[in-house]
């Protein structure tokens, strides 16, 4: 049974106003930022002339997940619209673990600021798993780091395990029997469960789903043993599910009795930070306009309250810091993929 190696899955910077650490052989930082998709937009070379009067029409924000899992981003977009003076229209474009949208945007969208995208950690991980048509270090204009998902593990309320320790004991005694639902293979949720399995010397299996709704139905129907996800408040409050553990730096105010992986001795802090980026070559003045609108939105008390309700941590990173974070995350994901010998199915 291997021992923990103090993996930390957090962002650098303020998963997304967190102040994460860089992923080293003994301290891995996993981030998940959300991916986006877009289609049919021609390439364009920016110029300072574009910055004048920006924006004079709606801005499109690509979100790489199905509708229903985008509540925080929609609220942020609506609030940022008030400071921008133009609507920010959210378009859901799920696919390829949140990387399809950013990839298409990087290759086809104009860099005039009217198409931007949420960026997940998977954008930095995927190039190390398979050939991609984008390079995270050169094909995006990073605008701002926003927030970070805090995940946990749920079982049904009628499950026999009252604690995480009981759940792990069952998994050890029943190799290969436990299955867990996640947003996809090689996502932060899946990778963290793989690290837990390695730490505890157990075998269990990931069952990927496109959205929380399908995963929840599978858990309720007994098709999976557990669900690994974020924004779990409504599920827990429904009384139909039991939260066994959370993956943040410390216990949450909402569930102060639920332990973290870190305090249970795993040396793991697993969050999924995300931010906003556009195609490469955007004008600095346009970037600043977008950055300032989203930063003001992030500082709004109502948005902060919503983040807490959705179990997210504010993760503000300015434009330069977010760009540096992206480059560091790209290197870190390479280390993680190599350490765990990950392969894309």
Task: Read off the tokens for 161.
Answer: 């395990």
- Consecutive H or E run containing 199: helix 188-200
Q: DSSP of 145-172, one letter per residue? A: EEEEEEEEEEEETTSS--SHHHHHHHHH
pLDDT score of 31? 36
Could you give the domains of the chain?
A: 8-149+270-340 (3.40.190.150), 151-269 (3.40.190.10)
pLDDT score of 134? 95
| Omega prior to 31 cis, within 30 of 0 | no
Task: Read off the tokens for 99.
Answer: 């990387």
pLDDT score of 29? 36
Which residues are 181's β-sheet partners?
A: 207, 227
- Residue 14: helix, strand or coil by DSSP? coil
pLDDT score of 188? 87
* Rounded CA separation 50/290 (Å): 14
Cβ atoms 219, 181 nearer than 8 A: yes
* Rounded CA separation 158/227 (Å): 14
Which residues are 272's β-sheet partners?
A: 149
State the Rg of the chain over Cα: 19
* Rounded CA separation 55/243 (Å): 44
pLDDT score of 149? 84
Q: How many whole angstroms from its chain centre is CA 303?
A: 18
* Rounded CA separation 209/26 (Å): 30
Cβ atoms 61, 126 nearer than 8 A: no
pLDDT score of 69? 67
Three-point CA angle 222, 225, 230, nearest 5°: 110
| Omega prior to 299 cis, within 30 of 0 | no
pLDDT score of 90? 95
Cβ atoms 264, 245 nearer than 8 A: yes
pLDDT score of 308? 84
Q: Phi/psi at 342 (nearest 5 deg)?
A: -75, 145
Contacts of 243 (CB under 8 A, 6+ apart): 152, 153, 154, 232, 236, 255, 258
Q: The whole model's pTM is what?
A: 0.78
Task: Read off the tokens for 233.
Answer: 């408040």
Cβ atoms 55, 124 nearer than 8 A: no
Q: Tell me which residue of 336, 337, 329, 178 sits closest to 268, measured CA to CA.
A: 336
pLDDT averages per 10-residue partition of the chain, 345 residues: 42 31 36 33 42 91 80 94 97 87 92 96 94 96 93 96 98 97 87 94 91 89 95 89 93 91 91 94 97 97 89 90 97 92 84
pLDDT score of 10? 38
Contacts of 244 (CB under 8 A, 6+ apart): 152, 153, 154, 155, 161, 163, 164, 167, 226, 258
* Rounded CA separation 232/103 (Å): 29
Sign of the four-CA dihedral 215, 335, 105, 120: positive
């Amino acid at each position: 049974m291997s021992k923990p190696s103090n993996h930390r899955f957090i962002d650098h910077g303020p998963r997304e106003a967190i102040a994460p650490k860089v992923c080293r052989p003994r301290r891995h930082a996993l981030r998940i930022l959300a991916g986006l998709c877009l289609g049919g937009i021609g390439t364009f070379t920016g110029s300072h002339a574009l910055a004048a009067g920006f924006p004079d029409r709606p801005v499109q924000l690509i979100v790489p997940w199905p509708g229903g899992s985008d509540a925080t981003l929609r609220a942020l977009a609506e609030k940022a619209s008030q400071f921008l003076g133009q609507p920010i229209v959210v378009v859901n474009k799920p696919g390829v673990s949140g990387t399809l949208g950013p990839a298409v945007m990087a290759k086809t969208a104009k860099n005039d600021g009217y198409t931007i995208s949420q960026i997940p950690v998977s954008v930095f991980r995927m190039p190390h798993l398979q050939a991609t048509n984008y390079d995270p270090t050169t094909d995006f204009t990073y605008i701002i780091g926003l927030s970070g998902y805090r995940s946990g593990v749920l079982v049904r309320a009628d499950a026999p395990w009252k604690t995480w320790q009981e759940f792990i004991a069952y998994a050890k005694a029943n190799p290969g029997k436990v299955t867990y639902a996640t947003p996809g293979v090689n996502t932060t949720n899946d990778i963290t469960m793989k690290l837990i399995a390695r730490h505890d010397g157990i075998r269990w299996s990931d069952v990927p789903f496109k959205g929380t709704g399908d995963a929840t139905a599978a858990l309720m129907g007994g098709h999976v043993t557990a669900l690994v996800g974020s924004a779990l408040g409504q599920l827990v409050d429904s009384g139909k599910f039991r939260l066994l553990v959370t993956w943040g730096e410390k216990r949450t105010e909402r569930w102060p009795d639920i332990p973290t992986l870190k305090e249970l001795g795993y040396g793991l802090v697993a969050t999924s930070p995300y931010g906003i980026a556009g195609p490469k070559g955007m004008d600095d003045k346009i970037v600043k306009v977008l950055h300032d609108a989203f930063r003001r939105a992030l500082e709004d008390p109502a948005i902060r309250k919503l983040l807490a309700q959705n179990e997210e941590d504010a993760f503000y990173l300015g434009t330069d810091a977010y760009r540096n974070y992206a480059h560091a995350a790209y290197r870190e994901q390479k280390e993680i993929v190599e350490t765990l010998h990950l392969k894309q199915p």
